[in-house]
Amino acid sequence: MALPPFRSAFLSNCFARVCFADRPAAPLVLAPSWVRLRGLPVMGVFFVLFLLVFVNISVAHELTGVVAVEQRVFTKEPLLDEQKEHNYSLAMQLEYYYQFQYQNRFSFIFVPFFRWDSADDERSHFDFREMNFLYGGESWDLRLGIGKVFWGATEFVHLVDIVNQTDLVESIDGEEKLGQPMVHLFLPGQWGGVDLFVLPSFRERTFPGSRGRLRSQLVVDTDHPVFESSEQGNHVDFALRYSHTIGDVDFGLSYFDGTDRQPLLLPGLDGQGLSVLTPYYRQIQQTGFDLQWILGEWLLKMESIYRHYDGEHDHYWAAVGGFEYTVGSLLDSGMDLGLIGEYVHDARGDEALTPFEDDIILGLRLAVNDAAGSEVLAGVIVDMDSPTRLVSLEASRRFGDRMRATVEAGFFLNPPKGDLFYSLREDDFLRVDVAFYF
């Protein structure tokens, strides 16, 4: 009950800015990411039409959506000539839900997303966040189509979460995800639940383009990705997760076998002989464990992964652990204050592909508990091995019943040469986002 953290996502936003991780980013072009989904969406649409025509039994359907305008202002000149200094953008997401009358067990959901950005062609993109059929039965659920799932427990770093690819151009916190084609079977029981996934098509990570900011010095050439698998992006991945709640503990044990969502970024040349970073997607097996444990006002969280790379016969582990402490009704004001602390360790050390290899993350979330749902989030990431500090502040509130405004500031302080954030040293920013819901 404590902080109704309706927007606790923000939390992660705070710092996720960090997840920018991977090294550089690259310019890309056309080919909206959904084109690469191959036949699946098309099949899905035909399936819907088939059902609508031959099983004409709608009960309930609903269309909702959100339109958001965003302005990002950077405090310093961009590092490179080709980068635009500021940008504004327009985003829209629709959600169409259709429930079939037959036993009320079948439903269809369609969630297209679109963003247009004034500066970055790569950030102007389109995606099917969801487009799937769900059969929700007594003893099993089956989802077919493009879907989204989340695994994990911690707030700032998501080690275990691997099914959906990160939509990095949306925000560098890594919280935004691309829709993933899947066959997803869920089997619940008294002993917990098992999720089984067959993931027939790979989604490539999005990276900012040459004119965008918050990117690596060299752009990532998303047009020419390289895969370890001979099947390229058609490799069929598998995943499963067992989860259970015992008393005050929620935990999950997961396994993934397939294409790593996080590419290596290798120096290379694009078609015109310009220096770029080429994304290289390897084959991995990942075993993950996540846990949340409530102890009074304390919420303890941890995630850990053990990863094996097929090609290099290499492996490593990483873990994150921390707490969230809630001060309820702060000074009798009715406000709730959440204090968050997490520590991340990656056995690869400086070789890690993420900026989190030995970092402490501190955050606080203030829920005002007013009618406007006002919320303030603040956080700092402290790299224990370098002077790098990342600071994020975010405040949001509702206006009326259909509008929410968010103001966010991000600062990249003292990244030394060679640090993953070195290329972001000029990219301190202020972001204003106003979203209208309908």
Partner 1 sequence: MKRFLSVCIICLFLSLPAGVLRADTPEEQGLSIALEAERRDDGFGDSTADMKMILKNRHGQESVRLIRIKTLEVKDDGDKSLSVFDTPRDVKGTAFLTFSHKQGDDDQWLYLPALKRVKRINSRNKSGSFMGSEFAYEDISSQESEKYTYKWIKNEPLNGVDCFIIERYPVDLKNSGYTRLLTWIDKDEYRVRKVEYYDRKKSLLKTLTLDGYQQYLGKYWRAHEMHMVNHQNGKSTVLLWTNQQFRQGLSELDFTQNSLKRVR
Give the interface with partner 1 as residue ranges (CB under 8 A).
Answer: 1-9, 64, 66, 97, 99, 107, 134, 136, 138, 141, 148-150, 152, 175, 186, 188, 193, 243, 245, 248, 250, 292, 294, 296-297, 299, 324, 326, 328-329, 332, 334, 336, 369-373, 398, 400-404, 435, 437-438
Largest CA distance in the chain: 64
Report the alpha-carbon distance of residue 260 to residue 235 in Å, rounded: 11
Q: How far is the CB of 45 from partner 1 (least distance, A)?
A: 22
Of 312 and 332, nearer to partner 1 (C-beta) is 332
400 Rama class: left (phi>0) / alpha (psi -120 to 50) / beta: left
CA distance 68 to 76: 25
CA torsion sign for 174, 179, 184, 189 is positive
Residues 238, 259: Cα–Cα separation, whole Å: 10
Indicate the residue among 77 and 332 with the shorter CB distance to partner 1.
332
**Nearest-angstrom CA–CA distance, 266 and 256:** 24
The nearest distance, CB 197 to partner 1, in angstroms, is 14
| Closer residue to partner 1, CB minimum distance, 1 or 30 | 1
Q: How far apart are CA 255 and CA 163, in angstroms?
A: 10
Please identify, using beta-carbon distances, which residue of 351 and 401 lies nearer to partner 1: 401
Smaller CB separation from partner 1, 9 or 264: 9
Minimum distance of partner 1 from residue 349's CB (angstroms): 30
Nearer to partner 1, 106 or 227 (CB): 106
CB of 81 to partner 1, least distance (A): 37
User: In the complex, what is the shortest distance from the CB of residue 171 to partner 1, in angstroms, rounded to a whole number?
Assistant: 12
* The pair of three-digit structure tokens given for residue 262, joined into one six-digit string: 């996080």
Contact 170, 72 (CB under 8 A): no
The CB-of-434 to partner 1 minimum distance in angstroms stands at: 11
User: CA–CA separation, 268 vs 277, rounded Å?
Assistant: 6
- Please work out, in degrees rounded to the nearest 5, the angle formed at the alpha carbon of residue 287 by the alpha carbons of 300 and 224: 115
